[in-house]
Amino acid sequence: MSARHWMASRRSFAMLLTASWLVLGLSACSSLSTRPLRAAVYDFGPGALAAATSTQPAVLPLLALADVDFSGGALDNLAVLYRLGYADPQQLRPYAQALWSMPAASLVQQRLSQVLSQQHTVVPAGEGAAMTRVQGKLPLMLRVELEEFSQFFESPTVSFALLRLRATVVQKTAAGAKVLAQRQVLSRQPADTPDAPGGVRALAEATDAAACEVAVWLAQVEAAR
């Protein structure tokens, strides 16, 4: 092989090698661009950012709060759920790129505890403090079952948060547990945008409204004892 042919072959090989690396680089960039996006994780926000002043007595009545239960398996996960009321309202659908930081029942219980703590010393129902007698009586126990927790679309652009729960007040006695009262709570709050962030904000507002309704009702039950 002449020197001229050898040099031409070498240049061809170099060009082929460069093209190969370019193809591999473009393929790598393509695979990176199609990598699945990480889901956004939501909760109800930080809550109050300043300590609230209170004129309540230093010793608040005890309230035993049971773990919030839930209906069915749809709420036993981290999915942010919605329904298409104009198409198939019986089907719960999860947002693909949105998750709660904890199951819906846990989020609702956390907010209930925060709201009820303004009028009570809230303790978990399973703790020893829940069995402490005050003036010869055990504290009341609040049981809550979460039945619906979703964003409901009336149309592709209009939606609202829908929360439904059943609250039960129980008095423990030596003879066993006695149901004092039960209430169904339905909370609806409009979503400002027809997407997961709008649904999350609306569901947080619906939970706050439901917790306040439970707190007012609970005070009425206690006053009637």
Model pTM score: 0.79
Rounded Cα gap, residues 119 and 15, in angstroms: 79
| Residue 133: strand, helix, or coil | coil
Q: Which residues of 65-78 are buried (b: 16+ CB within 10 A; e: fewer)?
A: bbebebeeeebeeb
Q: Are 113 and 55 in contact (CB under 8 A)?
A: no
User: What is the token pair recorded at 65?
Assistant: 């709060």
> Which pLDDT tens digit goes with each residue over 131-175?
666 555 678 999 999 999 999 999 999 999 999 999 999 987 777
pLDDT in tens, 54-113: 555 566 888 999 999 997 778 889 999 999 999 999 999 999 999 999 999 999 999 999
